[in-house]
Chain A
């Protein structure tokens, strides 16, 4: 049976990385989960593009970061921060689709 990401992650968050990028961080509970996710590349550009329904070309980078047992995905902001039509200036509430990840 597939397990939900919440079993493996202790931090799931989003934030601007400058006004044009949104960056998503998932920090794992321990090294084992980190290694598992990294080895199987569970978090990847295709997955994020599907969850956020954005083209793959909008995904700038997926980085597995060993010192924090974390994976970071940086993508294009829907619109630059504060432009007409903005809903979340800081980009701090754009992480919820990640709760749908299973492994």
Chain B
């Protein structure tokens, strides 16, 4: 439905269930939301925050049981009440295995609850050839502090996803899908697609989506596991909590605009940015905040953000404590010598692994950024991390490093029985494969709607 000419748009209410699909929400808040007769139920499932592993390996960082529980509420009530349900960044990272994983969960729910509906699934994966071709045409550029993309990085990347905008979701909604499941997706798009399709202001709809994607985190007290309601109007939007324990305030709402962003006045996304320089946050009573003045400024060319991770080897770790004051005083030199000794020992074996000592109580949290690394501590926690090209290489390196440190005769040593307190037997833990981000770049698209999709009828 397009905007009727000359007529004021009616209210459009959006029920955001949870900050990340699978984090959960109280049933009472969800019911409170349903009582407000929402026009859309939506949740974002994604983030790069948990690190590169989940995208690289193709697994969700949320539990299957948690995601199924949240989706069961959303889909069952959405389908029964004929309220569209939109979920984005399936499985957290939104690549094909994550999307298929989430699709299977929805299939189970449909079967178990005997629901009949049309599900639109849209995939966010990009072929390596597509990205390489775009690189050759100069259509790929790095974000701040990101190295230029190389052919090697693309070829080594496990899954390449692009954050889609509202366009593919709108296409599926126009195909009469009751539920839309999107792969990697710009977080606000799951909330903004339907209202923008109905003619609401894109700046307001996207800014509202930007806040709703974290559900009640922007309320006070904040929570990632509670619902929030957003009401879009012709020239403003209103936020309210759905639990009596929380409320939205201009402060809490504006503070959220800072969260995890580079610049709170300019929020870039697919095809443009939300400009908040003229934005106001007003308390309208009842724990509600009204926001005005958010604008969407399209860019000349349509860029999306690509994400990808590549394997960098295998990891093994051990955890130990140190309580000896002489050893603590000399810890930097001791660890350096131990590493040197291990290196020399393993050189002939061809072990090219890397060792990292995480010294808690000194600089385990901040590393070289730590300004107070020489403040005295009475005990240290040492996490020895070994990385290798194979699990065996990592394990061998860890084992030798651990035993060398345990019995290392450092200068001034008077505790000659052993240097480390191990809490566990076995002391060594194999962590499996590790990944690093290899793509975090913008790519120009000719067709913002060019993401492949499929409609399933249950």
- What residues of chain A have their CB less than 8 Å away from a CB belonging to chain B? 11, 15-21, 23, 25, 27, 51-54, 58, 60-61, 63, 65, 67-68, 70, 72, 74, 76-78, 80-90, 93-94, 96-97, 100
Neighbouring B residues of A60 by C-beta, 8 Å: 144-145, 262
CA distance A82 to B385 in the complex (A): 13
Task: Establish whether residues A100 and B371, one from each chain, have CB atoms under 8 Å apart when the complex forms.
Answer: yes
Task: Establish whether residues A82 and B435, one from each chain, have CB atoms under 8 Å apart when the complex forms.
Answer: yes
Task: Establish whether residues B263 and A68, one from each chain, have CB atoms under 8 Å apart when the complex forms.
Answer: no
- What residues of chain B have their CB less than 8 Å away from a CB belonging to chain A? 48-53, 143-146, 250-251, 254-255, 257-265, 276, 279-281, 312, 354, 356, 358, 364-369, 371-372, 387, 434-437, 440
Task: Establish whether residues B258 and A72, one from each chain, have CB atoms under 8 Å apart when the complex forms.
Answer: yes
Neighbouring B residues of A27 by C-beta, 8 Å: 255, 258
CA distance A46 to B30 in the complex (A): 47
Q: Chain A nearest CB: distance from B269 CB in Å?
A: 13
Task: Establish whether residues B260 and A15, one from each chain, have CB atoms under 8 Å apart when the complex forms.
Answer: yes
Task: Establish whether residues A19 and B52, one from each chain, have CB atoms under 8 Å apart when the complex forms.
Answer: yes
- Since A61-B263, A85-B367 are in contact, a sample of 6 more A-B pairs with Cβ atoms closer than 8 Å, ordered by chain A residue number, is A19-B51, A67-B254, A67-B279, A84-B354, A93-B365, A94-B369
Neighbouring A residues of B366 by C-beta, 8 Å: 87-88, 93-94, 96-97
Neighbouring A residues of B261 by C-beta, 8 Å: 17, 23, 72
- Nearest residue in B to A96 (C-beta to C-beta)? B366
Q: Chain A nearest CB: distance from B313 CB in Å?
A: 8
CA distance A51 to B258 in the complex (A): 21
- Contact for A11 among B51, B255, B280, B368, CB less than 8 A: B255
Q: Chain B nearest CB: distance from A35 CB in Å?
A: 16
Query: What is the total of A-B residue contacts with beta carbons within 8 Å?
Result: 136
CA distance A86 to B436 in the complex (A): 10
Neighbouring A residues of B50 by C-beta, 8 Å: 89-90
With contacts A76-B145, A87-B366 taken as known, whether A53 is within 8 angstroms of B264 at the C-beta atoms is no
- Contact for A72 among B263, B280, B367, B368, CB less than 8 A: B263
CA distance A55 to B211 in the complex (A): 33
CA distance A7 to B372 in the complex (A): 22
CA distance A90 to B144 in the complex (A): 18
- Nearest residue in A to B51 (C-beta to C-beta)? A82
CA distance A50 to B250 in the complex (A): 33
With contacts A11-B255, A51-B371, A67-B250 taken as known, whether A19 is within 8 angstroms of B263 at the C-beta atoms is no
Neighbouring B residues of A88 by C-beta, 8 Å: 365-366
Neighbouring A residues of B365 by C-beta, 8 Å: 87-88, 93-94
Neighbouring A residues of B358 by C-beta, 8 Å: 87
Neighbouring A residues of B312 by C-beta, 8 Å: 83-84
Neighbouring A residues of B49 by C-beta, 8 Å: 16, 81, 89-90
- Nearest residue in A to B435 (C-beta to C-beta)? A82
